[in-house]
Structure 1
């Protein structure tokens, strides 16, 4: 009997010890919700529509973005304070956190998942880290600003096929390609005089075209990564605020563009329109009148619907557009300050952050009805682990 009791105690002890290890489960249906006011993220489960827990201590998340490891277990959170945090979604804790700069606005993960790149305003440039340890691999300072004691701010950082990172230099009007295919010492290709003040950029879903929007003038700068020797091409000469200097309440993120089939749907800067472009030659083919100044324009995974949210004062609305007819299907009113939207991997849900409503809502995109809501503290960005298998996200 004594031996039996001893064995039971040892078994119970083993169970208690196991409870400290990460939960054994898949990660393909997980995601994080940024809680910008508190420097925290919630880990959410899209299969069961629940929040699994909150992770604190992530610093300034007022302009946060997230990428995921290839196995979808780790989320890399880029904070505005220069913080780079590796978050373990299973253990529900920060695996490692460093302050790598003074003012960071985004990052990317390499094609093979081994490198994490961060773009910085301060100090101007890009730093690249080992994804496993966050060891500094490369420090790429940007071009010095003429007459100033600092380097250009870096924006529009994306990953590209061939183990490359591509980014833009706001103050000096450049696009750089950093090629890590030969190891940890990158080969840098610089394209100068691309236009005034590139403020953000996107890469097409297949990874061929890198396009930088210009804040200092109308138009975009395009780099064909299949034929980089051709240099920069100017496209969409009329894209921007144009001659009518309308107030712009929030510059649309170019990663808020979407490409569905052979069409690109684009938020018009300072106008109450979504522009439709031919994604082969980038000519404008239509302009859809919408409820306000669009911020994010995103397509459902089946590419049949286009979902749009708006800048203040129309940021309580979301409009759904038919991608074939370009007609508005329905105007939704989720609540005050809709900041971000994210579809589940197969498109049966769309999650919407309602910052001033202190909640994240889950909607059925077919019935266009709410399914449920989860409480959250000033939620902003929503990022699902499905992004791990996508270029440029």
Structure 2
């Protein structure tokens, strides 16, 4: 296997005081904001998938500060943040990697790094940004300061015909030890990638059939990939990777008629509460509950549709579930202790994403076809604010800058 390496010096800049302005940003309210000092702890980005733009929002004031345009195809987009939470790195479906300055409301830098991208991650030390690609299959690593290419890792494997091919890469996350971990959809493998003194170190592990997405547990120990090609999940213990990949929750759908899969579940933000993992079932109207001590299946919670996101509130008391088409206009809230559905909410048409505020007093929910984001109080489960947005999808708050695997 060969790697293309581009050595670049790392430059660390410390921003002490930043003057906030909205130059290059269009205010949705049509009013100009007074310039002033501002931190980034209560800011975030909302993806406007149809227009290739993002909204800069303030979570405390429920306010849209402005819109940043020119980010390309955001039909499947995600965001990670720099360590100081000033910059958001937006991964677009067209292979675009865009560095957005939240304090100036402008694009700081942008590169087209592939033909089809699916997401990315930022390293534990904040030095590197990695992007997961469908075309060509592989992972590219960039200097987070300059967006200069540092490493190009082709996801090569040997197919059934004995030919060398390149696999789509999915489920890219950051991990302790300044590592990245990702899965190869076509090859059925999990790879770990570290950049040590500018040199990549890659380890490969056989996994289950067709891993489609993955997550890392909050302590950074377990990397778990969902499998589209079989009932079950593949788990790699990053503390003891030499033991290889373990299958967990095998055959959870065995003997049942699987339903059509209109949208693949997302494992990022997997709900883990009270020593149990709450997992979206592929092709079933269920949320699975697994005991994390032995990864045995302990319960199945019936829900109103096929779950896409199954997310725990920061205090782990609530599990919020969104759904695939055609029943994607509601969100259901589960009590993690009783495992009962306590409320069914209707945020709007085509709910796509949810994001909790850092301490969990509120959750923001995007409804693409209603062109709005609704903010709910997690104690009362009542709406407290609405924001207009153009076909909103992903919501990403800067608290992610200090969270492993997001």
Range into which the TM-score falls when normalised by the shorter chain: over 0.9
The alpha-carbon distance between structure 1 residues 229 and 144, as it changes in their structure 2 partners (threshold 3 A), is closer
Per the alignment, residue 29 of structure 2 pairs with none
Q: Could you list the per-position Cα deviations for residues 237-267 of structure 1 after superposition, in whole angstroms to 9, with x for gaps in the alignment? A: 1246865232111110111421113011111
Secondary structure of 1:186's partner? strand
* TM-fit CA distance, 1:138: 0.5
Per the alignment, residue 178 of structure 2 pairs with 163
Structure 1 vs Structure 2 CA RMSD: 1.7
Q: Could you list the per-position Cα deviations for residues 304-327 of structure 1 after superposition, in whole angstroms to 9, with x for gaps in the alignment? A: 111111111211111111100011
Deviating above 6 A after TM superposition, structure 1's stretches of 4 or more consecutive aligned residues are: 17-22
Where do 1:171-186 residues align within 5 Å? 171-180=186-195, 182-186=196-200
Q: 1:128 aligns with which of 141, 152, 169?
A: 141
8 Å contact kept, 1:33–1:41: yes
- Unpaired segments ≥5 residues, structure 1: 1-16
Distance 2:155 2:249 in 1: 27
The alpha-carbon distance between structure 1 residues 52 and 241, as it changes in their structure 2 partners (threshold 3 A), is farther
Distance 2:313 2:204 in 1: 35
TM-score by length of 2: 0.89
8 Å contact kept, 1:318–1:333: yes
* TM-fit CA distance, 1:151: 1.0
Where do 1:172-211 residues align within 5 Å? 172-180=187-195, 182-192=196-206, 194-211=207-224
Q: 1:379 aligns with which of 377, 389, 392?
A: 392
Structure 1 range deviating more: 240-249 or 255-264: 240-249
In terms of fraction of residues, the more helix-rich structure is 1
Distance 2:202 2:348 in 1: 46
Distance 2:202 2:36 in 1: 42
8 Å contact kept, 1:43–1:54: yes
- Unpaired segments ≥5 residues, structure 2: 1-18, 24-34
Where do 1:67-216 residues align within 5 Å? 67-144=80-157, 146=159, 150-180=165-195, 182-192=196-206, 194-216=207-229
Higher-Rg member (1/2): 1
8 Å contact kept, 1:239–1:269: no
* TM-fit CA distance, 1:217: 1.5
The alignment of Structure 1 onto Structure 2 pairs a total of residues equal to: 375
Q: 1:280 aligns with which of 293, 309, 315?
A: 293
Distance 2:333 2:229 in 1: 31
Per the alignment, residue 42 of structure 1 pairs with 55
1:309 has 2:322 as partner: yes
8 Å contact kept, 1:218–1:242: no
The alpha-carbon distance between structure 1 residues 253 and 315, as it changes in their structure 2 partners (threshold 3 A), is same
8 Å contact kept, 2:121–2:130: yes
Secondary structure of 1:254's partner? coil
TM-score by length of 1: 0.92
Per the alignment, residue 61 of structure 1 pairs with 74
